[in-house]
Amino acid sequence: MVGNLGKGPGGGDAGQAGAADRGGPAAERGPGDGRGDGPRSITVLGSTGSIGTNTLDLIARDPERYRVEALTANANVALLAEQARQFRARLAVVGDPARYTALKEALAGTGIEAAAGPDALKEAATRPAEWVMAAIVGAAGLEPTLEAVRRGATVALANKECLVCAGDLFMREVATHGATLLPVDSEHNAIFQVFDFGQKARVDKIILTASGGPFRTWDRAAMGGVTPEQAVAHPNWSMGAKISVDSATMMNKGLEYIEAHHIFAMPPEQIEILVHPQSVIHSMVAYVDGSVLAQLGTPDMRTPIAFTLGWPDRVPAPVARLDLGAVGTLQFETPDEARFPAVRLVREVLRSGGAAPTILNAANEVAVAAFLDRRIGFLDIAALVDRTVSRLQQRPAPTCLDDVLDIDRAARAACADLVAAAAA
Ligand code: NDP
């Protein structure tokens, strides 16, 4: 269920967001949920990244409320071991198997279990934490996140790529296993906060706001010379490298368009993208009576993370308070799809469906990595993703996880060939 409030796509009308659904009196809540008589048990997948460290920052400010079960990273053993010690995690997992010995040594004498490799990442997600932050970047997060979903956990979902590469499958698993899905992405978290799940048929459209990224006002010629350093320097948000580049190409808004389609079961024609450079309004929901509801705040991911961490209650977040008088002016623009072709591409991909979203996601990961490695130019990213989608999109839609992984592999190989040709 999406936040225990709805049935998810294809599930018909969403349920009521009544008081009981939002948690009920504290006396009725069980141990381990952080609101009853024990701390809430937590696992953070991707704890060393931008979302992961922000999550642990919130946990560190209220340590009595939480107990950390498992933490995971890909390569950053030093930070992972430091976090595991600080939060007295039961398990620490590093994705890269070659780093197992280093992790084991860093945790020697602590009693914290160390493990490594893709299976250990999945194992971390199966450990009995009531709340799981899914903050691994890219399709690499799909299988561990699905493990948490399949045991019916509350999953705070930052990893949008899960929904882009396997949206139907993912949402089906959420519904089948009675997992609770709480969106972390600031836009989807905003929509979640103002979406009337009890009157979904009365929603006219959802409006995803976009900062426009660092090159919002640049022309294509200037964008041709963009460096990785310029692309990761986002004007409003501090984020990991991949999502920062996605924001700069506006592919990120495209990925979020697909993410919104799955989380809120909204057809593409009822999802709008609106550029709003100040990143104060995090997104909006428009209703059939003309009302438009928005969630606002300063751009700090600790607000949406805190929303999911405390849900269904609210917990404090140490973020700068919004001062609209100081902000003064809020601007809005329609996205320029000629300068940012990724937006148009994603619209087409969602409309055509089938394997196309999985291909798009994988190709984008390869192209962004190649750009960060200075092997291709900034404008090549969207162009190579487009060409990979065109080459492979006749493949049938994935119906199971193996299909998704097959398509993902094929798309990575095809895009890698295009990168090699472009870099030659
Ligand atoms: P980061 O790059 O900062 O962190 C990624 C995390 O995933 C790190 O812990 C990293 O470990 C780990 N990781 C990377 N590759 C693998 C792999 N192959 N296997 C296992 N673990 C891996 O990313 P962000 O925190 O910025 O983003 C995480 C997710 O959240 C993304 O999907 C992003 O789109 C989404 N998101 C992020 C926002 C933000 O503000 N940052 C906002 C909204 C959504 P290591 O440190 O060892 O490399």
Burial class (CB in 10 A: 0-12, 13-18, 19+), 179: buried
pLDDT of res. 238: 86
Separation of alpha carbons 77 and 100, rounded Å: 9
Looking at the structure, do residues 204 and 180 belong to the same domain, yes or no?
A: no
Query: Total structural domains in the chain?
Result: 2
Separation of alpha carbons 350 and 258, rounded Å: 7
User: What average pLDDT is seen over the chain?
Assistant: 92
Q: Are 251 and 381 in contact (CB under 8 A)?
A: yes
Looking at this protein, which amino acid is placed at residue 284? M
303: in domain:
no
Atom of ligand 1 nearest to the CA of 144: 20
403: in domain:
yes
**Probe residue for ligand 1, chosen from 136, 237, 283, 298 as the CB with the greatest number of ligand atoms within 8 Å:** 136
Atom of ligand 1 nearest to the CA of 252: 34
Q: How many residues does this entry show for the chain?
A: 424
Looking at the structure, do residues 115 and 215 belong to the same domain, yes or no?
A: no
What are the φ/ψ torsions at residue 177 (nearest 5 degrees)? Answer: -100, 5
Reference 85, options 110, 122, 64; nearest CA is 110
Looking at the structure, do residues 104 and 229 belong to the same domain, yes or no?
A: no
Looking at the structure, do residues 416 and 272 belong to the same domain, yes or no?
A: yes
Reference 67, options 33, 94, 26; nearest CA is 33
Separation of alpha carbons 182 and 225, rounded Å: 38
Q: How far is the CA of 232 from the centre of ligand 1 (A)?
A: 14
Q: Are 349 and 357 in contact (CB under 8 A)?
A: yes
CATH code of the domain containing 285:
1.10.1740.10
Looking at the structure, do residues 124 and 81 belong to the same domain, yes or no?
A: yes
Q: How far is the CA of 242 from the centre of ligand 1 (A)?
A: 8
4: in domain:
no
Looking at the structure, do residues 74 and 211 belong to the same domain, yes or no?
A: no
Looking at the structure, do residues 175 and 214 belong to the same domain, yes or no?
A: no
Q: How far is the CA of 43 from the centre of ligand 1 (A)?
A: 15
Query: Is pLDDT of 9 > 90?
Result: no
Q: What is the pLDDT of residues 156-186, one digit of tens each?
A: 999 999 999 999 999 999 999 999 999 999 9
Query: Is pLDDT of 152 > 70?
Result: yes
Q: Are 376 and 370 in contact (CB under 8 A)?
A: yes
16: in domain:
no
Say what percent of the chain tops pLDDT 70: 91
Looking at the structure, do residues 135 and 259 belong to the same domain, yes or no?
A: no
**Probe residue for ligand 1, chosen from 43, 44, 47, 50 as the CB with the greatest number of ligand atoms within 8 Å:** 50
Burial class (CB in 10 A: 0-12, 13-18, 19+), 397: middle
* Residue identifier of the C-alpha nearest atom 9 of ligand 1: 46
Between CA 396 and CA 208, with CA 182 as vertex, the angle to 5 degrees is: 70
Reference 182, options 201, 215, 154; nearest CA is 154
Separation of alpha carbons 56 and 64, rounded Å: 13
Query: Is pLDDT of 20 > 50?
Result: no
Looking at the structure, do residues 45 and 172 belong to the same domain, yes or no?
A: yes
* Residue identifier of the C-alpha nearest atom 16 of ligand 1: 74
Separation of alpha carbons 208 and 273, rounded Å: 5
* Among candidate residues 184, 218, 250, the one where a domain is terminated: 184
Query: What confidence category does residue 37 fall into, taking pLDDT thresholds of 50, 70 and 90?
Result: low
Query: Is pLDDT of 33 > 70?
Result: no
21: in domain:
no
Atom of ligand 1 nearest to the CA of 238: 40
* Residue identifier of the C-alpha nearest atom 48 of ligand 1: 74
Which residue shows structure tokens 């979020």?
256
Q: How far is the CA of 135 from the centre of ligand 1 (A)?
A: 5
pLDDT of res. 34: 43
Separation of alpha carbons 385 and 392, rounded Å: 11
Q: What is the pLDDT of residues 43-53, one digit of tens each?
A: 999 999 999 99
Which residue shows structure tokens 């004007």?
235
Q: How far is the CA of 5 from the centre of ligand 1 (A)?
A: 27
Q: What is the pTM for the complete model shown?
A: 0.93
* Among candidate residues 158, 184, 210, the one where a domain is terminated: 184
Starting from the edge strand earliest in sequence, which strands make up the sheet with 281-287, in order? Answer: 271-275, 203-210, 281-287, 292-296
1: in domain:
no
26: in domain:
no
CATH code of the domain containing 120:
3.40.50.720
Looking at the structure, do residues 205 and 255 belong to the same domain, yes or no?
A: yes
209: in domain:
yes
pLDDT of res. 1: 61
* Residue identifier of the C-alpha nearest atom 7 of ligand 1: 136
Q: How far is the CA of 174 from the centre of ligand 1 (A)?
A: 22
Query: Is pLDDT of 13 > 70?
Result: no
Looking at the structure, do residues 153 and 214 belong to the same domain, yes or no?
A: no
Atom of ligand 1 nearest to the CA of 53: 25
Query: What confidence category does residue 234 fall into, taking pLDDT thresholds of 50, 70 and 90?
Result: confident
| Residues in contact with ligand 1 (CB, 6 Å cut-off) | 46-52, 73-76, 95, 121, 135-137, 140, 158-161, 185, 237, 239-243, 301
Query: Which residue range forms the structural domain that includes residue 242?
Result: 199-298+319-423
Query: Is pLDDT of 299 > 70?
Result: yes
The SS3 assignment for 306 reads: helix
Q: How far is the CA of 259 from the centre of ligand 1 (A)?
A: 17
Looking at the structure, do residues 171 and 268 belong to the same domain, yes or no?
A: no
* Among candidate residues 125, 158, 184, the one where a domain is terminated: 184
